[in-house]
């Protein structure tokens, strides 16, 4: 996400301004960003200078061309019909930088769009249509349940079983992952915005939406045999090789909500019959290991938005910003 120094004030500010937010959020959720980041550090260890979550990742760059047809829903400059530079990061969730690429966990795609006026738009997504927690408390309890037992060095299966039994909101994503094997490449997944958002047009009309990015290379899953025989690390190399052979594209698809659609629970999908429209094309032109690359020091805060795009009331979405900020601050301080 030009050189980092060109954008340093913006991305630094976007991360640090929200450091004061956890206190006010805690009154509603009884969970603070410090608690969540500390739990991640306890469960996965501290890897100096690295993200506390989605630690393992790959950088990429490209552009986005938003359709002017989207302007009936949003006045965002994203939808000017002109190319907008993008810095992307593909990642694996969790704080283990050595997690195998065959793990039955979500894959992530984070995007920073750099608009002509210097403003930024962030989008952080997963390749599951629903999230694994309806509240920050569930997210925290999930991390705690996975804390390694000192005696075995591995999570206690009974604690994980108890977590699932007491947190039904964690099940929809787990069921999706159980039914869908991981993809053979980053480029063979759709990536979902998970949360509901609000698009606002020039007439100040607000439309509740969700979005996803659908791959032109097609969605694919590894077979059980491929999962058993695949190397521990292959996603980064395959992405780099794929982009060397030509650009990779995703279509941005907007799902239009209707009155009564849920806007504050990312574990609940919307009905399949909702109107869906294609509103732009993301093109990734090259990829590289993240060390020293543009995406490495970007705090992909999902609440960094352009005029015309606004957050919903989803408590998980609103909590992510301060949690990212604490993690980012720890990294800046060399922790």
Query: Catalytic positions, please?
Result: 54
Between CA 241 and CA 185 the distance in angstroms is 11
Query: What are the backbone angles phi and psi of residue 177, rounded to the nearest 5°?
Result: -65, -35
DSSP result, 149-162? PTTTSSB-HHHHHH
Instruction: Write the CB contacts of 191 (distance below 8 Å, at least 6 apart in sequence).
Output: 107, 108, 109, 125, 126, 127, 212, 213, 250
Q: C-alpha angle 209/68/253, rounded to 5°?
A: 35
Beta bridge partners of 284: 62, 248
Distance separating alpha carbons of residues 54 and 95, to the nearest angstrom? 6
Bridge partner list, 123: 111
Per-residue CA distances from 189 to 15, 153, 173, 181, 269 (Å): 28, 32, 16, 11, 18
Residue 18 tokens read as: 């929200």
Report d(CA 113, CA 117) in Å as an integer.
11
CB 255 within 8 A of CB 270: yes
């Amino acid at each position: 996400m030009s050189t980092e120094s060109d954008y340093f004030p913006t991305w630094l500010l976007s991360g640090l301004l929200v450091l004061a937010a956890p206190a006010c959020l805690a009154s509603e959720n009884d969970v603070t960003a410090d608690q969540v980041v500390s739990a991640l550090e306890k469960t996965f260890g501290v890897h100096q200078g690295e993200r506390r979550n989605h630690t393992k990742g790959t950088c990429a760059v490209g552009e986005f061309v938003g359709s002017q047809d989207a302007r009936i829903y949003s006045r965002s400059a994203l939808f000017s019909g002109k190319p907008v530079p993008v810095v992307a990061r593909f990642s694996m969730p969790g704080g283990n930088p050595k997690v195998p690429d065959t793990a039955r966990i979500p894959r992530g795609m984070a995007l920073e769009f750099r608009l002509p006026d210097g403003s930024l738009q962030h989008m952080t997504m997963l390749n599951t249509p629903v999230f694994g927690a309806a509240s920050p408390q569930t997210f925290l309890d999930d991390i705690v349940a996975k804390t390694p037992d000192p005696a075995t060095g591995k999570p206690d299966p009974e604690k994980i079983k108890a977590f699932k039994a007491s947190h039904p909101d964690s099940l929809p994503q787990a069921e999706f992952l159980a039914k869908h094997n991981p993809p053979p490449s980053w480029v063979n997944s759709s990536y979902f915005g998970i949360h509901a958002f609000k698009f606002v047009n020039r007439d100040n009309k607000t439309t509740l939406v969700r979005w996803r990015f659908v791959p032109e290379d097609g969605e694919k899953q590894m077979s059980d045999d491929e999962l058993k025989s695949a190397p521990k690390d292959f996603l980064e190399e395959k992405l780099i090789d794929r982009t060397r052979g030509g650009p990779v594209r995703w279509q941005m698809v907007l799902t239009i909500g209707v009155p009564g659609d849920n806007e504050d629970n990312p574990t609940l999908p919307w009905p399949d019959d909702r109107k869906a429209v294609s509103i732009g094309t993301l093109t990734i032109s090259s990829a590289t290991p993240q060390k020293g690359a543009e995406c490495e020091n970007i705090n992909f805060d999902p609440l960094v938005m352009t005029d015309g795009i606004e957050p919903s009331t989803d408590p998980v979405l609103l909590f992510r910003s301060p949690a990212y900020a604490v993690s980012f601050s720890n990294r800046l301080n060399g922790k």
